[in-house]
Copies of this chain bind each other. A is one copy, B any other.
Amino acid sequence: MAELDSPEEAGLVAQWRDLLARHARTACLLDRELGEKHGLGMSEFEVLERLVEGCESGDKGLRVQELAPTVHLSQSALSRLIGRLEKAGLVTRAMCAADRRGIQVALTEEGRRCYAEARALHREVLSLTLAEEP
């Protein structure tokens, strides 16, 4: 029975611990800052960003499935996240004409504005936390 890690395994473990530390620092600070100052969670922001990237101003929006790869969440969690954004007035849900099972999620003006306001803070947090070494 292996009681000690091989050098390769030790490297993997070190890499994983570093990743965990960076992720925790960044995610925690992002959630706190975006939450306090813009009422957004980290994943909410990611979804808004994907919507901004994925559709022009007059566009119908994106399907829920197209948003899924962006946020690393289960389908149910994404569904509820969109529900929160909708309740906050940042996106609209509309039936998809082509496939009436699908839902088109589109940014509202308020959503666009909220994203634009939060963006600088988001980048600022990244530059703070991703730079540190430990």
Binding site for B on A (CB under 8 A): 1-2, 5, 8-9, 12-13, 15-16, 19-26, 28, 72, 116, 119-120, 123, 126-127, 130
Contact = CB atoms under 8 A, between A and B. Distances in A.
B120 A16 contact: no
A79 B120 CA distance: 36
A19 B19 contact: yes
A12 B123 contact: yes
A21 B72 contact: yes
Copies of this chain assembled into the complex: 2
B120 A13 contact: no
A15 B1 CA distance: 38
A78 to B, nearest CB: 13
B127 A12 contact: yes
Nearest to A8: B127
Contact of A72 (B2, B15, B20, B120): B20
A22 B13 CA distance: 14
Given A19-B23, A23-B23, A13 B123 contact: yes
A123 B5 contact: yes
Q: Which 6 A-B pairs have the closest CB atoms?
A: A24-B72, A12-B126, A23-B23, A9-B123, A16-B126, A12-B127
